[in-house]
Structure 1
Amino acid sequence: MNLRDLRYFVALADTRHFGRAAERSFVSQPTLSAQIKKLENHLGVQLVERQPRRVTLTDTGARILPLARRILQESEEIVSLARNEHDPLSGKINVGLIPTIGPYLLPLVVRKLRKRLPQLQLMLYEYQTQPLLEKLRCGDIELGILALPVAPDGLEIRGLYTESFHAALPSGSPLAKKTSIKLDDLIGENLLLLEDGHCLRDQALEVCNRIDIKESGDYRATSLETLRQMVAAGLGVTLLPELAARGPFGSGHGLIVRPFARPSPSRTVGAVWRRSSTRQTAIEAVCDIIRTSMDS
C-alpha cells in the first residue's frame, strides 16, 4: 500500500466514476482501475462496488475513506513543513471563499497579495459555507474566507473586516428617493433571498426578523447577481453586503442601492484554518494583507 494508491481511492470515492477519477489523478482509466484492484488485493477486502454507470463504496470502503484522507493530509503536512523550513512564504495554498465574498473581495486584494507575497501561489476555490468547512477539515483547502461566526472545532478563527448591509430596491420604489433608509421602511415589502445553504440567506433573515417583512415564497436565487436581476425586474427587495453594493456592483438599470441609517445591520468576515496547519506563517501574512486592504 502506498500514498499514490490511497489518492486514487479517494479520487474514486469523491467522483464515484472511474473515468472522472482518472482525469482528476492524471492517469489513464485502466491504470487507476488496476491500482484500485491492487489495493483491494493487498488489503484483502473489496473497497468499491463496480456498477455499469456508477461506483459505490462498500461498508468497509466507507470506513477506510476518512482514514485514507487523514493519511494523505498528514503526508502533505510533512512535505509542507519541510518546504516551510526554507521559505514559509512560498509554495501553494488552497483558499476557499464563499460566493457572497469571493467575487467582491478578490479584485481588491489579489494584486496586493501577488506584489507582497510573490513566491506564494494562491489556488482559489468557491464553496458554500458548509462544504467549505468540510473541505478545510479534510485538508483539501488550507484557508477559508467566510462570514462569522463558525464553530471553532479544531479551527483557528480570525476576524478580517466588518461590512454593513445595503438595501437593493427597484428603481421605481418610493424608497429609492431616500438617501438612506431604516429597517422599518421595508415593512410590507417582498423580501428576495438566496437559496438554502448560503449563510447570507440566514444573515438577511436574522436582520429582517426584527421587522414585519416576509420572504417571497415564489423565488429563491442561486447568486447575488440573480438577486439583482430579480430586484431590477420589480419582484421585491433584498439585502446586499457592502462590497457587493460598491462600484460596478451597485445601482444599475432598474436597481437602486441605498445604505441603512445607523446603526446599520452588518456582518463580520473572517479567516479560518486548521490549528494543526503548518502554513500558519503564510496564512497570517495573507490575512494581514486582506485586513489592511479593507482598513484603507
Structure 2
Amino acid sequence: MHLDLTDLRLFIHIAEAPSLTQGAKRAFMSAAAASVRIKALESQLNTHLLYRDSRGVELTEAGQRLLKHARLIMRQVGYLKTEFDEYGADASGHIRIFANTTAVTEFLPEILAGFLARSPGVTVDLQERMSRDIVRGVLEGSTDLGVIAGPVAATGLQAIHFSTDTLVLVVPKGHPLDSPAPVKLAEALGYHHVGLQAGSTLQEFMTEQAERLGQHLTWRIQVTSFESICRMVEAGVGIGVIPESAARRHIRTMDLSIIPLDEPWSVRERSILVRELQALPGCIRALVNLITTGNAPAVAP
C-alpha cells in the first residue's frame, strides 16, 4: 500500500469542510481532480470513505478511522519539517494547544507571552476546549498538547503534572455562607450563582457536580472572566466557584470572602497531555519544560 501525502491532506480538508468542492478549494485543486483522487484512495483502501449527497459529504466509519490516522501522519510530517527548519530544532514552528478555562484565562497568557518573546520563529494557536475534547484532540492528533485539570481517563497519552488547582467559593462579605468553615456544594445550591459563559470547562464541570447531587445550579448571570465573576459577587448579584489563585488575586481589591469547598473534586491536579513528548519538535518540548518547571532555554534563530 502506498499512501500519498497529497491525498491524505485533501481528505482532511474535505472532512473538515465538509464538502468535496470546498475541500478541493482548500487543497488548491479542482473538484473533479479531488473526486478522482478520493475514488483512487477508496479503491486502494478497498472501502468507502465518504457518503455523498446534494448537501455535501459525511464520513463513513472507515472515513472516521482514516481521518484520525491522516491527522496524526500530517502532524508528524509537520514536526519533521520543523526539526530540519533553517532555524534549527527548537527555534521555529507552530504549536496548537487545547486548554481548559483556567489555563486559557489565568496562567497560560503570561507564560506564552514570555515564551513567544524569546521565540520569534514560533506561532501558537491557543483554544479553550472542554476536557473530553482536549483528551480526544491529543489522541487524534488535532492538537499538539492539552492542558487539563482533574483525572485523565485515556490510554495512549502522557500526563505531565505541573501544579494543583483548588476550587473555592467566593461570596460577598456578610453573606449567610460567609464563615471560615468549609461548605458543601449542596449548601451553596440554594443561592444564585455567577459563572462563566456557557461552554466554558469550569461552567460545565460545576453543572455536572450539581446534577450528581440531583440538583441544578441557578445561574443569575454568566460572564467572560473570573474578574467579572468577582465584581458581580462583590455587588451582591450572587456567589461563584472559581480557582483559589484567581480568588486570592482579586480579593486584594474587592470586598469578598473566600470559602473552602468541602468536596473531593475541589482539588484538581493540572496536567499537560501529549502523545509522546520526545517525539515532539524542540519548540513544543521547550514550552512544556517552561510550564512544568518555569525554565526554558532561549529559542533564538
2:201 to 198, 212, 227: 198
Question: 1:175 aligned to 2:198?
Answer: no
Match of 2:102 in 1: 100
Rate the CA distance shift 1:110–1:81 in 2: closer, same or farther, 3 A: closer
Rate the CA distance shift 1:97–1:204 in 2: closer, same or farther, 3 A: same
In 2: Cα distance, 1:54 partner to 1:251 partner:
54
Unaligned ranges ≥5, structure 1: none
Question: 1:111 aligned to 2:101?
Answer: no
8 Å CA contact 1:96–1:143 kept in 2: the answer is yes
Q: Secondary structure at the match of 2:216?
A: strand
- Deviation, 1:239, is 0.8
- Counterpart AA for 2:124: L
Rate the CA distance shift 1:18–1:235 in 2: closer, same or farther, 3 A: farther
In 2: Cα distance, 1:146 partner to 1:262 partner:
20
Rate the CA distance shift 1:288–1:86 in 2: closer, same or farther, 3 A: closer
Question: 1:135 aligned to 2:134?
Answer: no
**Structure-to-structure mapping, 1:119-268, within 5 angstroms:** 119-151=121-153, 153-169=155-171, 171=172, 174-175=174-175, 181-184=180-183, 187=187, 189-190=190-191, 192=193, 198=201, 201-202=204-205, 215-216=216-217, 228=229, 236-245=238-247, 247=249, 257-260=256-259, 265-268=266-269
- Counterpart AA for 1:279: L
**Structure-to-structure mapping, 1:74-89, within 5 angstroms:** 74-83=76-85, 86-89=88-91
Q: Percent identity?
A: 21
**Structure-to-structure mapping, 1:273-292, within 5 angstroms:** 273-275=274-276, 278-279=279-280, 281-291=282-292
Match of 1:50 in 2: 52
- Spell out, residue by residue over 1:117-156, the C-alpha distance to the aligned partner (whole angstroms, 9 max, x if none): 4443323222111112211122222111111321352222
- Deviation, 1:291, is 4.2
- Deviation, 1:288, is 3.4
- Counterpart AA for 2:89: D
Q: Secondary structure at the match of 2:175?
A: helix
- Spell out, residue by residue over 1:140-188, the C-alpha distance to the aligned partner (whole angstroms, 9 max, x if none): 221111113213522222222223323233x4x632895x643238725
- Deviation, 1:83, is 4.4
TM-score, normalised with respect to structure 1? 0.72
Rate the CA distance shift 1:191–1:111 in 2: closer, same or farther, 3 A: same
Match of 2:299 in 1: none
Q: Secondary structure at the match of 1:87?
A: coil
In 2: Cα distance, 1:200 partner to 1:268 partner:
18
8 Å CA contact 2:106–2:246 kept in 1: the answer is yes
TM-score, normalised with respect to structure 2? 0.71
In 1: Cα distance, 2:251 partner to 2:119 partner:
28
- Counterpart AA for 2:275: R
- Spell out, residue by residue over 1:240-281, the C-alpha distance to the aligned partner (whole angstroms, 9 max, x if none): 0134436579977xxx64323599943322211112652264
Match of 1:16 in 2: 18
RMSD: 4.4
- Counterpart AA for 1:260: I
In 1: Cα distance, 2:290 partner to 2:176 partner:
36
8 Å CA contact 2:168–2:242 kept in 1: the answer is yes
How many aligned residue pairs are there?
283
Unaligned ranges ≥5, structure 2: 296-301
